[in-house]
Each structure stands twice: as C-alpha cells, then as structure tokens.
Amino acid sequence: MAEKNRFSRLLKYLLSVSEVKNYTLAQELQYDVSYISKWTSGQMIPSEKSEDKILRGISKCIVDGCSSAALDKLMKEYQVDDSEDLKLAIMDNLEAEYNYVKELQKSSGVDVAPQLFFFPEMKLSDYVARMHHPVLRRVNALDIIGVLDIFSIGREYRFQIVDTDRKHVPKGKWYQDVHYSMVVDVRPGKLNYTYDIYFLVDLLERNSCIDFQLYGTTQAGGRAIFVVKNDYAISGMLAGRDRCISVVTSENPDDCRVMYRNLQAMCSRESLLFRKTSMRSMLIRNEYVHALFALKQQWIIGHMTEHFLPEDLFEEIVQQLEREVQMSQELGEDKAFPDISDLRNVFRIMKNAVEEFQIRLLIYRTALYNLVVDNVLDFFNCKVHLTDQQVVRYLENFLELCRNHPGMEIKMIPGRLIPDVEYNTRPCVFLSDTISYLRLNTEFNNMYIINRRDMREAFGNMFAEFWEDGDGTLITDKEKILVNIEHVICGVTGDS
C-alpha cells in the first residue's frame, strides 16, 4: 500500500481523535463523501482554488464535533486554552501540510518526500523554504538545533531564516516544550557592529515564546544545518551569500536523532552567548547592584524603567505591590516578585548611582511616548500601571535628572536606531565593564545576562558606533532633548 502524504496523515489523525466521521465532514463542507475518503487515503488533496474554505471548514468541524475528552487532548497537543484558538492552530497545521504537499507535487511530481534527498546546489531562498518544514507546527514538543553561519549570508535572507509564518497561531503564548538551540559564528571579523549585534537581540525577542538559546562557535562557519530531532533535517554548506551546495534533506527519524545528538556538542556553557535570568535572581545574587557600581555605564533605554523614579512614586508603587502580594498569598498563590524590603534597599543604591555616577544614555523617543499612551512602567521587570498624574511625576523627575546631573550624558533616538532596518525590538541594554544585561519588552524570556567577554566587547563597540552617530540620526543637543521631554509632559497635562 502506497505511503500517504503528510496532509492525508494529519487529516486522518484529526478525524480519528475527534471521532468525526467522513460523512459529517462532507456535510459540513457540502462535498460528496467520496472526496473526504480520497483526501484521507492520500489519493488526492483539496483543490487549490478552494483551499482556504476547505481547511477552515475542516478545523471548525473537528473542533465543534469533539467530545470533551478529545477537545482536551487536542488543546494539550496544540498548546491552546480555548476552542477558537484551537481552530486557528489546527488551521495553521493543515495549511502548512497542504502547502508542503502541493509544493512537492509541483517541484518533484510526487506528494510524498523521499526519506533522503540530495541537491548538488540550491538557492538560499529554496533552502530557507525547506527549513520551514510543517513539523514546526507541532508546538506541544519540539527539539531543534540550527547551526547557521548567519552573518555570512545576505541580510535579506536572515529574517527569512528566523521568521516562521504562523498567522493562525495564537499570540502571547509560552511554548515551554519547544526547545531551539541556534549556533552561529560571531568572530569579530564576521560582525558588523551597527547591524549584527542588534540582530542578535532581535533574535532573542522573536523567539521569546519558546525555550531559545544562542551559542557562538567557529564551528558554525560556512555551515547551514537545521535539525528537528526525530523528524526532519536539512544540511548544506554555504557557497557565497545566497547559495548552498551539497544539500541533503532527511525525514528518517534515526538519521535526525543522530545528527541532533552530534550537534549538541556545540551547545556548551562556554559557547552560550546570553544567559537567561530573572530580576529575582539578579537581586538575590547581587548582580543588579554590581551592575550599578561597575565602570563604563552605557545604557540604551527602549522602554521606561524603575531607574528614573522619584522616591515618593517608588514608595506608592511598592505599597500597591505589597497589597497585591498579600492578596495572592491569601488566595494560596505564589506571586513571583522580589522581596519588597530588598527592593527598598536596592532603590536607594540605584538612586545614588543614577545621580552620581557617569552614565551615557541613549533613549528612544518612543519610550517616552509609549509610557504616556500605555501608562505602563517596567518596574524591576514587573509591568505596573500608572495614573496620568504618576506618569507626569515620573517624567518630571527624569527631566530633572537630565537637566541637573552632569554625570548623565544623554542622546535621543528620534525614530529607528538603524534607519534602514525595522527591528521588532525596543530593548533596554545595560552595559558596563563587568556585568551587562538585556531587558526585552516581552512577556516571556525577557532578561538575559551577556554571558561572554567577547560579546560584552561587541556590544560596547555597537554602542560606541551609535553614540558617535556618524550618519546624524540622533538628537544630540541637550536643550533639544529637554524640550522633547517637556513636550511629552505637556501632552499629558494639556499645558501648551
């Protein structure tokens, strides 16, 4: 019996789990039941002109027809919390498998890929398309390693590599069982500090919803390898910025397991570029305070933080958090937040450091605007909501710091930090000569300590290039910066 294509196998599985019969699906789609049988047996796939309507109808029929036990099973597999999100996730999965089979038919005349396939040469765009295998839609559990010399390829391909089109996948979800280790070559000669260091930060943010780790080693030089344990592998050698040679793809589970296991040796603690952390951990280990007392303070502020709070507003926020912690304890919940008394001690140290130490500050103008629009402050990595009056007091204190403390050198980023590249991220980057760390503006995996000395130096070089502002994109005149801050305050108070 001929092997079924991937779309047919998925459809058959979904119908089996949901216990939806072929004729029930046929009625939902208003198709003859013989079509459903041909789809599940692998004799044919739905027509391209009706693809969206059919796939949407299948996902609706399966979810609506599920028993409660089957619904729980599918929600667990697709890592969603309600039936509407499940419909979207199943739709995404069906669409990925359908497009995979359709492309196979067009390119090879078959609808089942061979377990092992060799290409003497391949355009990088085609390689990237094969990287985005439909198995990646299985979000309940994935183990992935990519060994990619990403800084040796054209910039237009980098975002194609790291971007996966998941238009139907629910946003704001934390997929804790999806593990992805990316190994890159970060030798100084490979890096353009203006573009590439910020690209690494953007990589962390784009993958913040999964367990993502970045490693750096020269072994990634010239390589393009992507392996999903037990499921899929594509491997090749880079030949220029837009081409690969000796490309092999495999869907043999044993081959994929062996490749995955061998590549894991590159993912050592020494090669880790950024170490995941939390605010609680940084406070307990005194890393937050050590960073404040370090020399060569250079900060990029992409969203507003606790560093510029006046003392009375800090105390108001702390008292509110104390009430929330107490309420959560009464409800038997463990609210993950640093000890309040420790915060008061840290705040006093931080206030003195900000007022007395030498700090170079690059601030996005949008960080001020977003605070006014959203009224949300990143308070020791906890999002707190401020009233309009509290926002004004915060900004007035920030204005006073900028105006009266000579140790604070400030320049403002009026738009994009890199004019011709739109990165998703607006991070906070705190650099020093000892401890340097990132605070991303994301819900999950949003704090990283820069783990290696060469990376700290690379970030320092990046900051220096931005600070020197060779292309004149920054606002460097202090009086103009103060006027900008005053303008934002007036936008809240309504004063002209």
Full-model pTM: 0.89
What CATH number does the domain containing 372 carry? 3.30.870
Q: What is the pLDDT of residue 23?
A: 92
Report CA 386 to chain centroid distance, whole Å.
27
Q: Does 418 reside within a domain?
A: yes
Same domain, 285 and 262: no
Q: Which helix (H) or strand (E) holds 323?
A: helix 311-330
Q: Does 1 reside within a domain?
A: no
Q: What is the pLDDT of residue 188?
A: 86
Same domain, 319 and 441: yes
Helices (H) and strands (E) counted in the chain, each on its own, are 18, 16
Same domain, 66 and 132: no
- Measured distance CA(436)–CA(273) in Å, rounded: 12
Same domain, 416 and 284: yes
Which of the four pLDDT bands, split at 50, 70 and 90, describes residue 419? low
Sorted by sequence, the CB contacts under 8 Å of residue 391 that are 6+ apart come out as: 371, 372, 375, 492
- Measured distance CA(262)–CA(229) in Å, rounded: 11
Q: Does 434 reside within a domain?
A: yes
Q: What is the pLDDT of residue 189?
A: 86
Same domain, 147 and 240: yes
* 3-state class (DSSP) for residue 103: helix
Of 272, 288, 310, the residue at which a domain comes to its end is 272
Same domain, 344 and 472: yes
Distances (CA, A) of 404 to 347, 354, 356, 401, 409: 20, 12, 11, 6, 11
Pairing, β 408-413 against β 376-379: unpaired
Same domain, 253 and 222: yes
Same domain, 120 and 103: no
Which of the four pLDDT bands, split at 50, 70 and 90, describes residue 425? low
- Measured distance CA(299)–CA(428) in Å, rounded: 7
Q: What is the pLDDT of residue 333?
A: 62
Q: What is the pLDDT of residue 121?
A: 95
Of 241, 272, 303, the residue at which a domain comes to its end is 272
Q: What is the pLDDT of residue 169?
A: 56
Q: Does 234 reside within a domain?
A: yes
Of 255, 272, 289, the residue at which a domain comes to its end is 272
- 43 near 71, Cβ under 8 Å? no
Per-residue pLDDT at 463 exceeds 60: yes
Per-residue pLDDT at 423 exceeds 80: no
Same domain, 256 and 283: no
For 196-241, where are the E strands, in sequence order? Answer: 210-216, 223-228, 232-238
Q: What would the pLDDT profile of 162-206 be if each residue is shown by its tens digit?
A: 775 555 556 678 888 999 999 999 998 889 888 899 899 989 998
- Measured distance CA(335)–CA(300) in Å, rounded: 29
Same domain, 182 and 34: no
Kindly state the tokens that stand for 130. 């094969």
Mean pLDDT of the chain: 90
Same domain, 150 and 99: no
**Domain tally, the chain:** 3
Per-residue pLDDT at 55 exceeds 90: yes
Segment 288-300 shows an average pLDDT of 94
Q: What would the pLDDT profile of 318-364 be if each residue is shown by its tens digit?
A: 988 888 777 766 666 665 666 777 888 999 999 999 998 999 999 99
Same domain, 256 and 144: yes
Q: Does 16 reside within a domain?
A: yes
Per-residue pLDDT at 138 exceeds 90: no
Q: Does 431 reside within a domain?
A: yes
Q: What is the pLDDT of residue 1?
A: 47
Q: What is the pLDDT of residue 417?
A: 75
- For the chain, the distance separating the N- and C-terminal CA atoms, rounded to the nearest angstrom, is 79
Q: What would the pLDDT profile of 81-118 be if each residue is shown by its tens digit?
A: 889 999 999 999 999 999 999 988 888 888 888 888 89
Q: Which domain holds residue 280?
A: 276-493
Kindly state the tokens that stand for 490. 């007036």
Q: Which region among 262-266, 410-414, 422-426 has the lowest average model confidence (pLDDT)?
A: 422-426
Residue percentage of the chain with pLDDT more than 90: 69
